[in-house]
A and B are shown apart, each in its own frame.
Chain A
Amino acid sequence: MPRCHAGAMAERRGATVELREVTKRYGDTVAVDHLSLTAPAGRITVLIGPSGCGKTTSLRMVNRLIEPTSGEILIDGHNVLQEDPTQLRRRIGYVIQQVGLFPHRTIGQNVATVPQLLGWPDARIRARVDELLSLIGFDPARMRDRYPAQLSGGERQRVGVARAMAAEPPLMLMDEPFGAVDPIVRERLQNEFLQLQRTQGITVVFVTHDIDEAIKLGDRVAIMRTGKLVQFAPPAELLAHPADDFVARFVGSDRGLKRLSLLTVGGAELDPPIDPSRLDGAPVLSPAMSLRDALAEMLASETQTGMVRDGDRYLGVLTLSHIGRLLRSEQPK
């Protein structure tokens, strides 16, 4: 894909989604209870919680696959409840765990679904399909005419994301999109998706039950329990200052370690460089590496320290006590 094009698209801003006092009742059960939150434009907002907490119901109310009992949902200030649901959905990307590609249509036709519904001219659809297939790392000429059954699970998931992005929606709703693939593929898909989201500037509301995924992808994470919002904060804040015992338990007793995955070696204080011969067997760490990975390597080495190098430059020595101090400095009082 040409670079100038990527730049142009990055300027396109995502939409802001605002839920105001949204409630969904099924008979006597309250699935979502006066939920208010704002998903900022161009960011990934993750909804997370134990099963039955109302996260998927909340997501599906945004594109009106489920109708709220009361409350308002605004996209860029417009109340979605006053719009035609079909038209609304064509402007919102939607990805689900089982992907739901159309088995009877080729990859190209699948990706073209929403542009076709919107009546784009054929030439524009063709160009957009090829552009998206390239974006997700496919060779359009090779993949365009294949059927979903000929793809691996990871490839199908990528096509699902491309299909949701096809009509350049300002908002994407994703319901555990990477939940059905193996951990190695999942990590790769998450990384690719993060990059894609950053370059396209789309607002994303993302449902998961995997706290590691929430921390990795979320700019903001909403923790829900029995239909209520318990805490809504950036991941680092969530790990450092859980609002209550429920959140603390949910993010896990290893939340210190999880916070390390958000911090980099470059952000830690270092001892001044010492003679490398005294660091025999110590791992070499780069400033961009996460502290969690650095810690794992240091613990496995005899010296329990790491030598930090930025390319050829020897920056200093990272010790376990530095990591501990960094964690304590952000602990809740």
Chain B
Amino acid sequence: MTPGEPLIRWDWLLSHAGEIGQRVGEHLELTLIAVAVGFLIAFLLSLAALRVPRLYGPISWTTGILYTIPSLALFALLIPYTGLSLLTAEIGLVSYTLLILIRNIVAGVRGVPAEVREAARGMGYTDRQILWRVELPLALAVIFAGIRIATITTIGLVTVTALIGQGGMGYFILLGIQLFFSTALIVGALGSVILAVLADGSLVLVQRALTPWTHTP
């Protein structure tokens, strides 16, 4: 850091407000696509694992391996195929959401009390109706817990994709490192943290609205 330079240069913040806003939008877009696509894939894989319990082991193992690959290495591995693109970023981001989402969807559905399932079957629900009208609604709280963790980790990970020309707030972090410029570094890091906190709070509100039975007096 340049000596004599203040930790935060407010004038820079003001003059770059437009660009910061644009990067925030980018950051949210990257996150939203990753969590949405991740959820879709996780949901389908979870349904398969719930129907054919033998599949759960391999699915869990594969997504677990994906989760452990260092993100930098994964992006580096993908660049020869998909370049410095949004697709490269999303392949990585989506992969990291799968393990958490699948675990929570499956655990949520399996956690539905046996007597509730038994009553539903005894009253003449088909298997499909049991899944959609009983098991999935009751699993919502656990599924949402998974979506919250996936969203927060994705918001953090998005900053890394700055290295392949994406990155939202990660752009400022990279800028800060390259120029020894603390203001940009703080904007990037703090911005990402604030986004995560706000996103988590909004998801809690959505969950409460969707599961009124969990918080009645």
Contact = CB atoms under 8 A, between A and B. Distances in A.
B124 A89 contact: yes
14 contacts: A90-B124, A94-B119, A94-B123, A96-B115, A96-B122, A99-B115, A100-B116, A100-B118, A101-B116, A103-B138, A104-B137, A113-B123, A150-B217, A164-B123
Contacts of B122: 63, 65, 89, 94, 96, 173
Interface in A98-137: 98-105, 113-114, 117
Interface in A54-110: 63, 65, 86-90, 94, 96-105
A149 B125 contact: no
A103 B115 CA distance: 11
Contacts of A87: 124
Contacts of B119: 94, 96, 99-102, 160
Given A86-B124, A96-B115, A104 B217 contact: no
A86 B126 contact: yes
A147 interface: yes
B123 to A, nearest CB: 5
Interface in B87-127: 113, 115-126
B134 interface: yes
A117 B125 contact: yes
A147 B118 contact: no
Given A104-B138, A150-B217, A114 B115 contact: no
B132 interface: no
Nearest to B212: A147
A89 B121 CA distance: 8
B121 A102 contact: no
Nearest to A91: B124
A103 B140 CA distance: 12
Nearest to A114: B123
Interface in B117-166: 117-126, 129, 134, 137-138
Contact of A96 (B118, B126, B134, B211): B118
Given A94-B119, A102-B116, A103-B138, 10 more contacts: A63-B122, A86-B126, A87-B124, A94-B122, A99-B119, A102-B120, A102-B138, A113-B123, A117-B125, A150-B217
Interface of A: 63, 65, 86-90, 94, 96-105, 113-114, 117, 146-147, 149-150, 160, 163-164, 173
Interface of B: 113, 115-126, 129, 134, 137-138, 211-213, 216-217
Given A96-B115, A96-B119, A103 B124 contact: no
Contacts of A63: 122
Contacts of B121: 65, 89
A97 B129 CA distance: 23
Contact of B213 (A65, A100, A104, A173): A104
Contacts of A102: 116, 119-120, 134, 138
Contacts of A100: 113, 115-120
A114 B213 CA distance: 21
Contacts of A150: 216-217
A87 B126 CA distance: 10
A173 B122 CA distance: 10
B11 to A, nearest CB: 54
> Which of A102, A117, A149 has most chain B Cβ within 10 Å?
A102
Contacts of B216: 146-147, 149-150
Given A96-B118, A102-B134, A114 B217 contact: no
Contacts of B120: 100, 102
Contact of A104 (B115, B123, B124, B211): B211
A90 B124 CA distance: 5
Contacts of A117: 123-125, 129
B123 A149 contact: no
A45 B145 CA distance: 47
A247 B171 CA distance: 83
**5 closest Cβ contacts across the A-B interface?**
A100-B119, A90-B124, A94-B122, A98-B115, A89-B124
Contacts of A113: 123
B213 A147 contact: yes
A98 B117 CA distance: 11
A149 B213 contact: yes
Contacts of A146: 216
A137 to B, nearest CB: 22
Contacts of A105: 213
> Which of B116, B119, B124 has most chain A Cβ within 10 Å?
B124
A125 to B, nearest CB: 14
Contacts of B134: 102
Contacts of A86: 124-126
Nearest to A63: B122
Nearest to A89: B124
Nearest to B138: A104
Contacts of B118: 65, 96, 100
